[in-house]
Structure 1
């Protein structure tokens, strides 16, 4: 009898949680300017075999960004070499890769740099600090982690294709 009541209460709670976000509009992305001193890229060069897969400049990475203070998350689509500023965060993308469909394990990754504007002390001018520079992997988010108390950044996808990929069974 108690188990049935507990299941009913838990089910009602899950239904109410599921309904919470269904009617909320997606937040609009705010485009802000990147400061001139940070506009130049110091990203390392990434070499890619030109005969295999989509050329680097035609790939599109989808990067997830969440502000843990207000629980607003955004999907940011970027091409290698691009930098985007959203509020107090700058994300730079050097490369995105995924393994060919015939290789295992399947991995999707991106080389990113994350800069955050922070104040050292109350009343001081904010400064841009690099909080992360390296590869992030979709399938293994714990391998490299963007450690920041307010922002989380992760890789969601790398849109690219390989020769013969359309012929592989799904």
Structure 2
């Protein structure tokens, strides 16, 4: 189990390093003020788009969602959108963890750092 976790952490670190190098070399402002996400309710099969203003929390059902930062890649042929997102599930009262998700999301590879929730699925769609 630890080996899988170490591999996952290593892959995330490599992806963040590559992304920060490619984003850091750009002369244009690739950072956005708004992050757009889609939320799928796995029980009802309803799909909802949300626009998150960075550093402002939005309530969606039992979730509190906050986007801290989002960036677009400088490459037009293979666009990548990354965002640092925090999610709190207010229905969980006996858990010591504050966030059910706290980390970077990648639009092209959501499985690198997946949002794991029994009811909802969240994925990143744009940054502007």
> TM-score normalized by structure 1?
0.53
1:154 counterpart = 2:123: yes
Q: Which residue of structure 1 aligns with residue 50 of structure 2?
A: 76
Q: Does 1 or 2 have the higher relative contact order (CA < 8 Å, sep 6+)? A: 2
| Cα distance per residue 1:127-165 (max 9 Å; x no partner) | 994101011111011111011111111101112xxxxxx
Greater than 3 Å deviation, 4+ residue runs:
126-129
Structure number with larger C-alpha Rg: 1
Q: Over the residues paired in the alignment, what is the CA RMSD in angstroms?
A: 2.7
Please report how far the alpha carbon of residue 77 of structure 1 lies from its aligned counterpart in structure 2 after TM superposition: 0.7
Residues 65 and 72 of structure 1: CA distance in aligned 2, closer, same or farther (over 3 Å) = same
Give the number of the structure whose residues are more often strand, by fraction: 2
- Give me the whole-angstrom Cα distance separating, in 1, the residues matched to 2:50 and 2:41: 13
- Give me the whole-angstrom Cα distance separating, in 1, the residues matched to 2:67 and 2:31: 15
Q: Which residue of structure 1 aligns with residue 107 of structure 2?
A: 138
- Give me the whole-angstrom Cα distance separating, in 2, the residues matched to 1:120 and 1:83: 19
- Runs of at least 5 residues in structure 1 that lack an aligned partner in the other structure: 1-47, 160-170
- Runs of at least 5 residues in structure 2 that lack an aligned partner in the other structure: 1-22
The correspondence for 2:29, drawn from 29, 45, 53, is 53
SS in 2 for 1:100: coil
Residues 128 and 70 of structure 1: CA distance in aligned 2, closer, same or farther (over 3 Å) = farther
- Greater shift in the superposed pair: 110-119 or 139-148: 110-119
